[in-house]
Amino acid sequence: MTRLRVIWTVLYFCVHKRILAAGNNQCGDWVPLLESCYLFSDTRATWGAAMGICRGFHADLVSIESNDENLLIEGHLQNKHPHDADKTAADYWTGGNDIESEGNFKWIGSEQPFTYTNWMTGQPDPAEQDCVEIRGVSNFKWHDETCNHSHLFICEKSMGSPPDIIG
């Protein structure tokens, strides 16, 4: 290896390591997508309990406010659950709910009504289902669902928030 090539190689690894470190610092163990950090849980909880867990991390249950955000979250879930057999158990609570006013869905963190939606055909359906989940078998489209059922969940916090160590 020429001396120049050695210098370039060392430089490349130094810069690369710093970029990785910067990314890690911003979201800790959470997944960075767009301007937020996301926690994809491995444990199940009711919608209310899941919200409490997210709040414990100074986060909220995820709010999906654009097609871009939905595509990135869906992409992450497709990678996490690549096989159809995995998808049957891959139901994730979001922060979407119409607990306060039937049929008027909004996001728990911002309290803002839905501006973007990715409902499964036929959803939301007229039933006592006030909380919104991303359902694996529906190819990660949205369903309203009974809030006291236990599912996986996604927490979201803005990248500016201090990282929390989980593990």
CB of 78 to Ca ion, least distance (A): 18
Q: Point out which span in 10-18, 79-87, 98-106, 136-144 binds Ca ion (CB under 5 A).
A: 136-144
How far apart are CB 1 and Ca ion at their closest, in Å?
46
Binding residues with Ca ion: total (CB under 5 A): 5
Exactly one of 30, 129, 147, 157 binds Ca ion (CB under 5 A); which one? 129
- Write the CB contacts of 162 (distance below 8 Å, at least 6 apart in sequence): 58
Cβ atoms 154, 41 nearer than 8 A: yes
Encoded one letter per residue, x for contact with Ca ion by CB under 5 A and - for no contact, window 14-53 reads ----------------------------------------
Member of 86, 113, 125, 158 binding Ca ion (CB under 5 A): 125
**Residues 6+ positions from 134 with CB-CB distance below 8 Å:** 73, 74, 77, 91, 92, 94, 140, 141, 142, 154
Give whichever of 97 and 129 is closer to Ca ion, judged by the CB atom.
Answer: 129
**Helix (H), strand (E) at residue 131:** strand 131-135
9 or 146: CB nearest Ca ion:
146
Interface with Ca ion, residue 63, by CB under 5 A: yes
For 150, phi then psi, to 5°, come to: -100, 130
**By CB under 5 A, residue 135 contacts Ca ion:** no
Least distance from Ca ion to the Cβ atom of residue 16, Å? 29
- Kindly state the DSSP code that residue 151 receives in the 8-state scheme: B
Query: Can the peptide bond before residue 32 be classed as cis, meaning omega within 30 degrees of 0?
Result: no
- In whole angstroms, give the CA distance from residue 84 to residue 91: 13
Site residues (vs Ca ion, CB under 5 A)? 63, 125, 129, 143-144
